[in-house]
Each structure stands twice: as structure tokens, then as C-alpha cells.
Amino acid sequence: MMTFKKVLRFWLCIMLAILGIPAFNSTHAVTKYARVVIVGNLGSGKTSLWNSFFNIAYNPNEDSSDSMIRRDYTADVGGGDSIQFNIWDTAGMAKYYDEVVAFTKDANFVLIVHDISARYDPNCRAYLTKLYRDVHSRIKADGQIFLVGTKYDLRHNDIVNASDQIALVDSVAKAIPCSRLYTEAPKGRCPIIDDLLQKLVAKASGMSLPLADPDSSTLVRFKVKRGGGCTLL
């Protein structure tokens, strides 16, 4: 049985609705924005990893990236609220290193990509460590960096010392320290990518994120592929 207060509240809500005034405790869907930047040297698998977020199959004829390209991934975080992840693929050529590092400023997440199917090069340790330090000094204070070893399934295809590549990624991630994971040559979305997305959403949910797209002014400078329709439930 409804009490007098409940009846009064019910009719007040009806009147407010008729007048177009928000009712008590009303909530509005909120979209927050997070920046995810994928970095690494030429041919490391950045674009393939980027495509995997959107369940896009690997294209062996796709040119190496020489520009910044963005797609958006929207995650439902409950209560009608969502987080839009602006996911950026970046140029891998050495001549773009300084611009790419500068572009990670105020990023919430950075994925440093390393191809473990390539021939082992001891100089990669210094490169990955330097890239981490350069990026770490620019991202948000509560941001997170992942070290991603790509093309794990191709590590035995005529490659010498593939085990050294895996040991390299493990040791660099431990020394820095940062999270690390391994992905296969992309065939679209896979459980590893799904798990990574879950981690990004969980971490981002506890961050102080802007309510306006922080990359809106960037869109006029770089090539942008606007994605959409991907929602993590």
C-alpha cells in the first residue's frame, strides 16, 4: 500500500514530466573518453593489433602506417553510461619517432608493440626501454603501459632464437615494470584481445576521464577512420 509521501512523490513526478522538468534522482547517460595509443617500430604489427580491436581480419597487402589513424571503441559500463576509447595506430618509421612519442601526451593507455617473430636483435632492449621511458613521462599520471609481443604463432617460421625474443619481452616488462601479453598474427578478434579490452575498461572505469573528446582538435591534422557499432557489454 502506498504511503502519503509515496503518493505525493508520484504525482509530483507526473507534474514535473508534464512540465518538462527532470524528476527527482533522474540520471542521464554519460559518455567519457579515453585515449589509447599503439606505438612501436616499423613492421612490428601495430596496425594488425589495431585491426583486431575491431574484428578486422589481417590484410597482408596493407601498407605500413605512415600516419596517425583512429577508430573508436565504445564500452557500456552500466547505467546507460559508456566509455569511448579513441584507439590510435601510429607511424613506425624511425623518422616519426619524436612525433609519435609527443602524440602519447595525456594518453590513458599506451601499447608498445614488439614483433617476436623477427630475428633477434640485442639492440631491441635499449629501444623498448627508451620508448617506454619517453612515453611514460608524457602519459596521464594514472595511465598504464602494456608491452605487447605480436605474431606469437609465427615465432617458429624460419626464425632464429625466437625464444630470445620472448625472454626479451619478459625481462624488459619485469625490469620496467609493466604489464605484458602476447598476441598471434591477427585473424580478427581473439580471446587475448577480448581480455585486453576488459582490462582497459576496468582500469578506465576508475580513472578521471574527460566528458568531451580530447582528440577532437586532432582530427583535422591526421587521417581518421571513424569506427562505431562495437559495444562491450
Sign of CA dihedral 149, 154, 158, 163: positive
The CA-atom distances, in angstroms, between 226 and each of 28, 95, 159, 179, 211 are 25, 26, 37, 28, 19
At residue 105, the 3 state secondary structure works out as coil
Of residues 23 and 51, more confidence is placed in 51
Give helix 123-136 / helix 162-175 axis angle, nearest 10°: 30
Which architecture characterizes domain 29-232 according to CATH?
3-Layer(aba) Sandwich (3.40)
Instruction: Report how far apart, in Å, the C-alpha atoms of 211 and of each of 26, 33, 226 are.
Output: 19, 6, 19
Residue 74, pLDDT > 60, answer: yes
pLDDT value, residue 35 = 96
Please, which pLDDT band fits residue 217 given cuts at 50, 70 and 90? Answer: confident
**pLDDT at residue 23 is higher than 70:** no
**CA torsion, ordered 87, 93, 98, 102, to nearest 10 deg:** -10
143-197 tens-digit pLDDT: 999 999 888 766 655 555 568 888 889 999 999 989 998 887 655 567 888 889 9
Residue 208: per-residue pLDDT:
93
Percentage of the chain exceeding pLDDT 90: 38
Hey, what's the cell of 214?
580530447
pLDDT tens by residue, 24-66? 444 457 799 999 999 999 888 888 888 888 887 766 666 656 6
Rounded distance, CA 179 to CA 75, Å? 22
Q: Is the pLDDT of residue 75 over 80?
A: yes
CB-based contacts of 31, cutoff 8 Å, min separation 6? 74, 81, 82, 83, 84, 211
Q: Give the lowest-confidence range in 3-7, 80-84, 180-184, 200-204.
A: 3-7
By the 8 A CB rule, do 162 and 128 touch?
no
| Single pTM value for the model | 0.79
Residue partners of 145: CB distance under 8 A and separation at least 6: 109, 110, 111, 112, 132, 135, 136, 139, 176, 178, 179
What's the confidence (pLDDT) of residue 153? 67
Q: How far apart are CA 154 and CA 205, in angstroms?
A: 35
pLDDT at site 97: 92
- Cell reading at 115: 614483433
Q: Which pLDDT value is given to residue 223? A: 53
**pLDDT for position 4:** 59
